Amino acid sequence: AAPPPLASGAPSPRRPPATIRPADASSLSAAALISSAAEDGCDLPFPPERAPHHRELAAAAASVERACRLCVDVKRSLLSGGRKILEKNDQSPVTIADFGVQALISFELQQLFPSIPLVAEEDSTFLKSSNPDDNSGNVLIESISSAVADKVKNSGSPLTHDDVLRAIDRGGKDAVSFDSNPATYWVLDPIDGTKGFLKGDDALYVVGLALVVNGKVAVGVMGCPNWTNGTTANKKEENLDPCPGNGILMVSHVCCGTWSRHLSPEIGQFTTAQDVWKRCFVDACSVVHMARFCIPDSQTWNMIPLSVLFDSTTDESDTRDENKILLRYACCGSLCKYIMVASGRASVFFSRARVNTQIKAWDHAVGMICVQEAGGQISDWSGEPLDLAADLTGRRILYPSGGVLVTNGALHDKLVELISANYK
């Protein structure tokens, strides 16, 4: 088999914002598709003159919103039965929606920006390895193709099963190899929090897409179909919700801030007025024991170094003192915790690195820019920035010392100091 293409990481000269163009928008068809993406309701809350990657963000936001519609439809169909829930080799669940979202977003990005590679969670190996005797593989691929065809923006011929499989594999681990130079590429988590996706209607899951430009996250979009103004909040906090209503679309562009609006009810009913976007900011808490903390659902408070100093409670009515902190739960996945911090619903997100468990880039890349542009800060437990290029050729794995620390900024240095003093 031929080796995967080498994604050159050589930085390109920075052009003035007024003349920035996507690398592949020279063709009329690509330009028309990008214009169409903007017409589909992805007008952004800041002008192109301020945002060198405005077109990429507009296209990404439109694609993520369509992907959220796919998730909602597939989740509804899960109630009707059928083999739509699968299990990967690591025993983690994966659904038709995971594959469908990756195929949809991969296909649309390739049409618009064919020179920008994609790093994503899934590939089609699992689908192709299904038992050929019972025709299950063909049934799964047919279901995925049907879900994608119903939502994808495609001005060409109808997608074949092979088109869908190729779109999935464009983000797979063998699709591209990077070199040691800063690289430009998309990072996609088709569904962060698949376990949450499989739970009740109020369980959170996120479609997350980021654009890394010359080694730095420049653009981010997160869609959370089940976010509501009551998500993890009590009534006193409802006025803090950046996006009242069902579902949230959060976008971020370097030096332009983080913004959110609620998801459109249906495809074709996009809202375009700039006043529907609301600027997101982290909270202003600067006292550790008064902060609101999040941790992964697979971890417990006693795994966090601060547990030697503070007890925890999940009851917001509990009286807190200098020895107790509030622990908030936001269901499965990491990206919903980033939304919590970026929107001011939580002050801190801790995640501990664990032996034999890899920390994946797609679980953090888009969250990083959304929190940073909202005024927060992200590092490993030693205070060092997360290195997206630590996985030199794949750009798929992160190696943070100790774990990942996401904060509102005001607490960051103090928490790094406390971790350093209590982490062994």
- Residue, of 408 and 80, whose pLDDT is higher: 408
The mean pLDDT of 290-296, rounded to a whole number, is 94
For residue 419 the two structure tokens come to: 């971790």
The mean pLDDT of 318-328, rounded to a whole number, is 87
Catalytic residues: 98, 194
411, 285 contact by CB (below 8 A): yes
Annotated binding site for Mg(2+): 121, 189, 191-192, 363
- Domain ranges, residue 342: 288-421
E-only strand ranges, 193-238: 206-213, 216-224
Cα separation, 141 vs 144, whole angstroms:
5
In this prediction, residue 74 has a pLDDT band, given cuts at 50, 70 and 90, of confident
Q: Quick count: other Cβ atoms within 10 Å of Cβ 419? A: 20
Annotated binding site: 121, 189, 191-192, 363
pLDDT at site 316: 84
pLDDT at site 136: 59
Least confident of 12-21, 120-129, 378-387: 12-21
pLDDT at site 200: 60
Flag whether 351 is in a domain. yes
Flag whether 47 is in a domain. no
Cα separation, 328 vs 331, whole angstroms:
9
Q: What is the number of domains present in the chain?
A: 1
In this prediction, residue 1 has a pLDDT band, given cuts at 50, 70 and 90, of very low
Q: Give the phi and the psi of residue 401 in degrees, each rounded to 5.
A: -70, 115
* Structure confidence by residue, pLDDT tens digits, 190-215: 999 877 677 666 678 999 999 999 99
pLDDT at site 198: 72
Packed helices 54-78 and 136-151: angle between N→C axes, nearest 10 degrees? 130
User: Cβ neighbours of residue 41 under 8 Å, at least 6 residues apart?
Assistant: 62, 65, 264, 270, 271, 272
Cα separation, 4 vs 422, whole angstroms:
44
Domain with residue 376: its CATH number is: 3.40.190.80
pLDDT at site 26: 34
State what percent of residues in the chain have pLDDT above 70: 76
* Structure confidence by residue, pLDDT tens digits, 395-414: 999 999 999 999 999 999 99
pLDDT at site 132: 57
Residue 314 has pLDDT above 70, yes or no: yes
240, 367 contact by CB (below 8 A): no
Residue 19 has pLDDT above 90, yes or no: no
Flag whether 247 is in a domain. no
Mean pLDDT estimate for the chain: 82
User: Cβ neighbours of residue 71 under 8 Å, at least 6 residues apart?
Assistant: 97, 101, 191, 197, 205, 207, 225
pLDDT at site 85: 58
Flag whether 395 is in a domain. yes
Flag whether 357 is in a domain. yes
- Residue, of 242 and 225, whose pLDDT is higher: 225
**Tell me, what DSSP letter sits at residue 181?**
S
In DSSP terms, 177 is beta-bridged to 6
408, 284 contact by CB (below 8 A): yes
pLDDT at site 246: 74
Least confident of 149-153, 218-222, 367-371: 149-153
pLDDT at site 255: 97
Flag whether 392 is in a domain. yes
Flag whether 52 is in a domain. no
Q: Which residue has the tokens 């920390």?
A: 359
- Residue, of 94 and 241, whose pLDDT is higher: 94
CB-hemisphere CA count at 13 Å for 187? 31
The mean pLDDT of 60-76, rounded to a whole number, is 92
State what percent of residues in the chain have pLDDT above 90: 61
In this prediction, residue 13 has a pLDDT band, given cuts at 50, 70 and 90, of very low
387, 260 contact by CB (below 8 A): no
* Structure confidence by residue, pLDDT tens digits, 333-383: 789 999 999 999 999 999 999 888 899 999 999 999 999 999 999 999 999
Flag whether 7 is in a domain. no
pLDDT at site 94: 65
